[in-house]
Structure 1
Amino acid sequence: MLPSYLSATCRRSPSLFRTFATATKEKQPHSQAKTQVKVRPTASASQTTTKPKVPSAVKGRVSSEHAAKHPSQPASQVHSHPESTKPHAKAAPSVVTSGKEAEKEKSEEEVLREQMAQIDQMLAMEKLFPTTDPWAQRVDTLDVELPYVVNPFKPSEYPSWRSMFEQFSQNRQHSLKNATSMWSLAGANAFPGVDLSGAKFRHKLFKWPWHVFQCRSTKPNAWVAPFRAGALESYIELNNALAANDVKRIKTYAIDSYQDTQLKLLKKRSQEYLYKWRFHGELSPTRILSIRAMEGYLSPEEPRFGNRFMAHILVKFDTEQSLEIYDRKGHPLHAHKPEDDHGKKTWLNVPAEKRRVIEYLVLEKRMWYDGPWTFRDQLWEKAGKARVAA
C-alpha cells in the first residue's frame, strides 16, 4: 500500500509504491564510616581525681618511656582525659540508598514535574489563544502490539518452551489492555453508531464484558465495526493521494513520522510518469488487532465535539490492489497482458497485474475532532516462524 521502509524480517508482500521508487548518573552514596569503639574498664575513684597539667617536656619524656615498655599501646592513651574512657554510644543505623535507586526516584520525580509544567503551559495557552488547540501536539505511539499464535502442538514455531510461555503471557496482558481501552471508550460513548449513554448498571455488568473482549471481531454489529470501516476508507484515500501526488490530501490522512516518510519517498519518485492506484477488494476483512485509548483533551471545559479520548488502533489490511504507470503520452510502462494493449484507445486504461498486499498500520483518532482516522506508524512481523494471530 503505502511506500515505506521495508523490513528484512517481513514475511509479506511489499508495498506496490515501493517497487518503484542515562541522563548523567549522579551517584549519591550515603556511606557512613564505621567507628571502632574500644571500651575500657571503668576507672577507680583515685584515677578520676583531677590532676595538674603536665608540662610538655615531661609529657614527651613519659611518652617515649611508655613507648619503649609498651610498644603495642599508643602513647596518646597514657594521659588521656578521664571522660575519654567512657564507652561511646552506638550510632543509629542509617538507611543506605544505592545510587541507581536514588537516580530512578529522582528521574521519576523530574519527569512528573515536567509533565505537570507542560499541562500548566497548555492550560495557559488555551486561555491566551482560544482559537488554537494546545492538545493537538505530537504524541508517541501508544503500546499497540501484534499478537502471535501460541499452539502447544506446534512447538517448532518458537525457539523454546519458555519463549512460547512468555508469548502466551504477553497475549493475555495484551487482551486485558484491549478490554480496558474498550471499556473506557464505551464509558465515554465513543463508538459511532452505538448509543451507550443510557446504559444501566445491569447492562454494564452482563453485556459490556462480552463486547469489550471483541476487539478483533469482524461482525457488522460489533462495537469496533465503525472503526474498521473508517480505517479502510482512510486506507483507500491515502493510496489514491499518493498516486496523484496530492500532498494536501496526504497530510490529511498521514501524520507525524509516517507523514514525513511518505513525503520523502514521494520526492524521490520520478515526476515524469503518471500513476493510477486501483483497489480491487479485501482478501480478508480488515481487522483491528490492538487498541489503546487515553484521555488527550485535559481542559477543564468539555470539548465542543465528541469526547476527551484519543485512540490508537493497529489494523491489518489484507487487500488486492494494482498500480498502473504511464508516460506523458499515455503509454503503459507497467507489466500487463499484450491483449490489453490496444494503442491509443486504451489511454490510461491498461490494467496492471493484481497483487496481494498485507500491511499492519497504526491509525490515530482524536475524538474531539470531526475528522478521519489518520495513519501514524507501521509495524512488521518479528523474525521467526511465529504467526500473527489475525
Structure 2
Amino acid sequence: MPSIPRAPSPKMRMAKMPALPENATDADINDIRIKAQREQLRMVEAEAERGTRRKVDPMAVTVPLLALHIPQRILPLLQKGKIGVAGKVSFREVLEKLKDALHFWLASQHPVIPGMKKKPKLWHVYDIFSVRSLSAKRPLATLRKQAMESYIRMNQIEARGNLDELHAQVSEPLRSQIRERILKRGRSVVEWKFHGEVEPPKCLSLRMIPSIGIADLPESQAAVQQALFKFKTKQSLVIRDARGGSTIAGNDKPRIVTDYIVFEHKNWVPGQKWLPKAQMYDIPTSELKSS
C-alpha cells in the first residue's frame, strides 16, 4: 500500500532551505545549513514565547464537579453515642461554612448571582455567611427562586422526553443521565406533577473558580460557579403504556421527594443561565464512622 504524505503540523513550521546555486562549494552548503538551523531555532523560541497551550473552544469546555458539601446533622450522632464521629463532623461543618463564605466573597468579585452587584472587599460579614439563609433579604434569594423554577422545568422536560429542551436547559453530566432514562423508557407516557413545596429551596454549598485558564479570555469571563441546592417537594409520577391507558408504575398520589441538585454558571458562555449540572445524594448519619 503506497504511503500517504503527511500534512505539515500546524503547531510548528519548518524553516525552508534556500535553493543552492549551481556552483555552490561545500563551505557555501554548510553555511546555508547553519543559517537554516538558526532560523528553525528562532521559530521554536518564538513558538515557546507564544505559549504551548492549545486554542480551546470555550463552548466545549466541561468543568468537573467542585467540592460541594451536603451538611450533616450532629444530634443523631450524639444520641447514638458516637461522640468521636460527632466531633469530627462538627469540625468539618465549621470548615465548610468558612469555605462557603470565602467562595461567596470570590463570587461577589465576578458577580453572576441574580441581583448581586460587585461588592467591596470588606463586605458585610452577615452577607458572606448567608449562603444557607432562607431570608428574602439575603443575596441568594433570587437565585433560590430561579433554582426552584429550573428544577420544576427539568422534571417536566424529562416527563415530556424532549431532548432538544433537555440540551438547552440541563448541563452535563446530569443531561446524559436524564437522556438515558428517556431513551430507556421507550414509548411509555410519563405524567409528572408538582404539588408544592414542603420546604423552601435552600442553597447548602457554594464553590467558584475565579479563572479556569481558557486562553484569550479575560479573568472575569473565565470564572465558573457551582451551587448545591436542596429541594423538598410534593410530587407525583405515573408511567403509562404507549397509548396512555394502562398504568405501568407509580400513581397520582403526591409523595414527598428530597433532591440535591448542583447548579452551574459559566461566565464565558453568552447569556448563560444557572443550569442543573449534577445530582448528589445524602449519606445517612447512621453510616458515618470514625476514621
Q: What's the TM-score once normalised by structure 1's chain length?
A: 0.54
Provide the residue aligned with 1:295 in structure 2.
Answer: 210
Considering fraction of residues, name the structure with more strand. Answer: 2
Provide the residue aligned with 2:268 in structure 1.
Answer: 368
Quote the Cα distance in structure 2 between the aligned partners of 1:290 and 1:329: 43
Quote the Cα distance in structure 2 between the aligned partners of 1:164 and 1:241: 41
Structure (1 or 2) with the larger CA radius of gyration: 1
Provide the residue aligned with 2:27 in structure 1.
Answer: none
Provide the residue aligned with 2:61 in structure 1.
Answer: 137
Quote the Cα distance in structure 2 between the aligned partners of 1:300 and 1:209: 35
Contact kept in structure 2, 1:148 and 1:386, CA below 8 Å: no
1:226 to 2:136 alignment: no
How far did residue 174 of structure 1 move? 0.4
How far did residue 234 of structure 1 move? 1.5
Is the partner of 1:378 in helix, strand or coil?
Answer: strand
Q: How does 1:154-303 map to 2 (within 5 A)?
A: 155-157=78-80, 160-196=82-118, 199=120, 204-205=121-122, 207-271=123-187, 273-296=188-211, 298=213, 299-302=215-218
Is the partner of 2:137 in helix, strand or coil?
Answer: coil
Is the partner of 1:317 in helix, strand or coil?
Answer: strand
User: Deviation string for 1:89-114 (max 9, x for gaps)?
Assistant: xxxxxxxxxxxxxxxxxxxxxxxxxx
Quote the Cα distance in structure 2 between the aligned partners of 1:364 and 1:301: 19
Is the partner of 1:125 in helix, strand or coil?
Answer: coil
Provide the residue aligned with 1:322 in structure 2.
Answer: 236
Provide the residue aligned with 1:125 in structure 2.
Answer: 55
Is the partner of 1:353 in helix, strand or coil?
Answer: strand
Quote the Cα distance in structure 2 between the aligned partners of 1:143 and 1:260: 21
Please tell me the root mean square deviation across aligned C-alpha atoms, in Å. 2.9
Contact kept in structure 1, 2:77 and 2:86, CA below 8 Å: no
Change (3 A) 1:210 1:386: farther
Quote the Cα distance in structure 2 between the aligned partners of 1:296 and 1:252: 24
User: Deviation string for 1:253-279 (max 9, x for gaps)?
Assistant: 3332322222222222131x3222211
User: Deviation string for 1:213-234 (max 9, x for gaps)?
Assistant: 0001111121112221222122
Quote the Cα distance in structure 1 between the aligned partners of 2:84 and 2:77: 14
Q: What's the TM-score once normalised by structure 2's chain length?
A: 0.71
Q: How does 1:3-22 map to 2 (within 5 A)?
A: none
Quote the Cα distance in structure 2 between the aligned partners of 1:283 and 1:121: 53
Change (3 A) 1:154 1:239: closer
How far did residue 284 of structure 1 move? 0.2
For structure 1, the residue ranges without an aligned partner over 5 or more in a row are 1-116, 127-131, 337-351
How far did residue 121 of structure 1 move? 5.6
User: Which of 223, 231, 254 is matched with 1:309 structurally?
Assistant: 223
User: Deviation string for 1:115-166 (max 9, x for gaps)?
Assistant: xx9xx565x525xxxxx426x4122210001111223x96134x63221111
For structure 2, the residue ranges without an aligned partner over 5 or more in a row are 1-47
Contact kept in structure 2, 1:252 and 1:374, CA below 8 Å: no
Contact kept in structure 2, 1:296 and 1:366, CA below 8 Å: no
Change (3 A) 1:196 1:256: closer
Q: Percentage identity across aligned positions? A: 23
Contact kept in structure 1, 2:77 and 2:83, CA below 8 Å: no
Change (3 A) 1:154 1:142: closer
Is the partner of 1:256 in helix, strand or coil?
Answer: coil
Quote the Cα distance in structure 2 between the aligned partners of 1:218 and 1:121: 47
Aligned pair count reads 237
Change (3 A) 1:274 1:179: same
Change (3 A) 1:362 1:208: same
Contact kept in structure 2, 1:142 and 1:312, CA below 8 Å: yes
User: Deviation string for 1:181-219 (max 9, x for gaps)?
Assistant: 10011122333213336x4xxxx53x5221010001111
